[in-house]
Amino acid sequence: MARIGVVRPGRAAVLLVAALYFLVPLLASAVFTLDVPGQGLTLSSYTRIVVAPGFTGSLLLSLGLAVATVVLVLLITVPAAVAARLAAPRLRPVLEVVCTLPLVVPPVALTAGLQTVLRWGPEKLSTTPLYQTFVAVQNPGFPFVLVLAYAVMALPFVYRALDAGLRSIDVRTLVEAARDCGASWPRALLSAVLPNLRAALLNASFLTLALVLGEFTVASLLGFQPFAVWIVQASGSDARLSVAVSLLSLLLTWVLLLALTTLGGGRRTPRASRRPRTSRTPEGKTS
């Protein structure tokens, strides 16, 4: 009979402290938004979110930036990580260092570099075929420059998630088996490797999504107004509205995490049909 695990007092104390550390601020924020002096308990702080100016546009902009950033950063890191593992194992430390560099570059310095490039571009690229691409990158309708910045900032988290997934599978055997069956290199990557990296890809996508939804510095310095910047601007006029929107964004992040966790759970294998048990009589016959 399996033994039932018992939580040790030390672990219970750590879990209790962690729960208080995370739950007490959330409960205090919820009470602050629900208990309005002179009105009692009311949901006015939450009902005013939908009609608040700029809420819908900033939220849709952040979600669009998140989707574009996830697609771009996966298109960059997945082929590079697989190629380094298969063809050039000695380049794996170099790739790891390059993907980790954004952790030591402050967002303010990254933004200053982007502003320098945006000022330098029209003068140097106006006579080249790259000028139209540069114009599209700095198009204010959809800030592609933020997608590039967020992709750079998300590289360390995405690479770590993908590297953990690649370490858990035998990439070389999968690719060689697909190639022996007549698949091309892109087809082998799509049909043999990526399905086994499903959990790693979902983890990388969630980390990128959380980074984009909560990033403030780069977007604010470049003059754009995604969701995080709108929350800060709304806090100057209505503190309760700002806290309510922050709680709503946290709830949205949790919902997206649960959705990605559900997608990453994989298909459940059908349960084996139960056979009726047979009992043996003392004479050795089954009944």
CATH of the domain at 172: 1.10.3720.10
Query: For residue 122, what pLDDT is reported?
Result: 73
Query: For residue 69, what pLDDT is reported?
Result: 93
Q: Who's near 137: CB < 8 A, 6+ residues apart?
A: 144, 145, 148
- Note the pLDDT tens digit of each residue in 201-214: 888 988 898 899 88
* Residue 13 domain flag: no
* Residue 251 domain flag: no
d(CA 277, CA 279): 7
Query: For residue 153, what pLDDT is reported?
Result: 93
* Residue 182 domain flag: yes
d(CA 250, CA 246): 6
Task: State residue 207 phi and psi, 5-degree precision.
Answer: -60, -40
In the chain, the N- to C-terminal Cα span, in Å, equals 27
Query: For residue 272, what pLDDT is reported?
Result: 42
What is the chain's alpha carbon radius of gyration, rounded to the nearest angstrom? 26
CB 176 within 8 A of CB 203: no
**Which residue, 210, 213, 173, is CA-closest to 193?**
173
Neighbours of 155 (CB within 10 A): 20
Q: Who's near 175: CB < 8 A, 6+ residues apart?
A: 86, 185, 188, 189, 192, 193
Query: For residue 190, what pLDDT is reported?
Result: 82
* Residue 132 domain flag: yes
* Residue 76 domain flag: yes
d(CA 226, CA 39): 32
* Residue 276 domain flag: no
Report yes or no on whether pTM surpasses 0.85: no
Helix (H) or strand (E) holding 35: strand 35-36
d(CA 258, CA 252): 10
d(CA 66, CA 211): 8
Query: For residue 282, what pLDDT is reported?
Result: 52
* Residue 17 domain flag: no
Neighbours of 150 (CB within 10 A): 25
- Find where tokens 């790693």 sit: 200
d(CA 152, CA 159): 11
Full residue range of the structural domain in which residue 112 is found: 64-234
Q: Who's near 133: CB < 8 A, 6+ residues apart?
A: none
* Residue 164 domain flag: yes
HSE-CB of 104 using CA atoms within 13 angstroms: 5
- Note the pLDDT tens digit of each residue in 157-187: 999 999 888 888 888 888 888 888 888 888 8
Number of domains in the chain: 1
Query: For residue 155, what pLDDT is reported?
Result: 93
d(CA 159, CA 69): 14
In a structure prediction context, what are the per-residue pLDDT tens digits for the chain, which is 287 residues long? 445 556 677 888 888 898 888 889 888 888 888 887 777 788 877 778 777 788 888 888 988 999 999 999 999 999 888 888 888 878 888 888 888 889 888 888 888 888 888 787 777 776 777 766 777 777 667 888 899 999 999 999 999 999 888 888 888 888 888 888 888 888 888 888 888 888 888 889 888 988 998 888 899 888 888 888 888 887 766 778 778 888 888 887 788 777 777 766 554 444 444 444 455 555 555 54
